Structure 1
């Protein structure tokens, strides 16, 4: 069973501004759970795409019901790998993220695409997808529900952080979200394979492709 999350919105800010703000999101008052941010690799390819790999350390708070089940020495930090590709020609910016530790407990894979709007060139479309799974027999469903709730909370913080940077840099206007629709659902058994294949497509690229 895989939990699937989809979020789509339009930002009343140009793609260039949003892309620039993305790299300067941290620190911000809405993302205090992000502890460290390090660039592991960066390269501009022959076709002018920017490939970047970053490593983040974030807090890893367990739900209260899980604190009595899992070891007390379980790391309270989670390491997140983010691969991204910026294509200035097509005006698209795609990020792929996944957690590196606690993968038996829960794995969260995310794909986010920032694309210049065709309908409103001065706006940016954001499409975010996530696939949440757990390998803990007997507890996978509550763990996935908890993971989905946390992911939704964190993505709200991420959007507020991005808005904060845009406002400081470019004076983002009020009501900057033109369209905001959130859909979250548990993947049914019949759709599990499809969700897994999509999750695989969202997995950050292998290191060998960058080095």
Structure 2
């Protein structure tokens, strides 16, 4: 009798295992779990945290021509090196003037101390970072845009900073600068587990350095203004 029952149970198991409806139910369960994860707000927030971005606007109470002149002097004057201590070296790679439009295109190589917390430099074994800055200046439109990206350390961290210089819409004798910075820690690198912390520390460091850069620009603009009032052309 027990042998008969055992055969019946075995047959029931075979029927269940070969039941197409059961396989369909299992597939639907897997699909529901997948959709739930994709639509989970916490999962979406986690993906968005892999990129940290912020925007800052600053108004210089100086005309556009003076502010853009100060831009080119910011890294070249020796007295600024103590303030802009994060800058190691700046070299002009290419400068081209379009004769038809009058637009000036410039590419510069900028070497800086590695951004982010100190433990990141120790982890990756490098305490400096090579960047490239591209810019175009259109004097007729009174427009200047510069974009800076890191070339090294990109398998760990990608940073892009874009700045635009235009006359202030309410006062053409002032200049408004809009700076947008994005910081992305690679999700597949050795520092992925600390991505959010690294991005936050990098953002804080960039904001501090940007503030130093604005102070230098303000000082140069005031110097140019004083020289201009003396009738000296710079």
Question: Aligning the two structures, in what range does the TM-score lie when normalised by the shorter sequence?
Answer: 0.7 to 0.9
For these two proteins, the number of residue pairs brought into alignment is 169
| Greater RCO, 1 or 2 (C-alpha within 8 Å, sep 6+) | 1
Partner of 1:58: 112
Q: How far does the alpha carbon of each residue in 1:41-96 deviate from its partner, in whole angstroms, 9 at most, with x for none?
A: 1111121100000011112265244466x14xx22111111000101111011000
Structure 2 gap ranges (5+): 1-49, 228-234
Give the match for residue 196 of structure 1: none
Question: 1:138 and 2:138 equivalent?
Answer: no
Q: TM-score scaled to structure 2, two decimals?
A: 0.68
User: How far 1:118 sits from its partner (Å)?
Assistant: 2.8
Contact (CA 8 Å) 1:30, 1:160: kept in 2 or not? no
Q: CA distance change for structure 1 residues 170 and 153 in 2, over 3 Å: closer, same or farther?
A: same
Give 1:1-211 correspondences, 5 Å limit: 1-26=50-75, 27=77, 28=80, 29-45=82-98, 46-60=100-114, 63-66=117-120, 70-71=123-124, 74-135=125-186, 136=189, 137-171=192-226
C-alpha distance in structure 1 between counterparts of 2:73 and 2:121, whole Å: 34
1:131-173 superposed Cα distances (whole Å, 9 cap, x missing partner): 100113212111111111111111111111111211222249x
Q: Considering only aligned residues, what root-mean-square deviation do their CA atoms show, in Å?
A: 1.8
Q: Is the Cα–Cα contact under 8 Å of residues 113 and 126 in structure 1 kept in the other structure?
A: yes
Whole-Å separation in 1 of the counterparts to 2:109 and 2:59? 27
Distance 2:202 2:59 in 1: 25
Distance 1:106 1:133 in 2: 6
TM-score scaled by length of structure 1: 0.75
The structure with more radius of gyration: 2
Distance 2:208 2:160 in 1: 16
Going by fraction, where is helix more abundant, 1 or 2?
A: 2
Alpha-carbon distance between aligned partners in 1 of 2:110 and 2:104, rounded to the nearest angstrom? 19
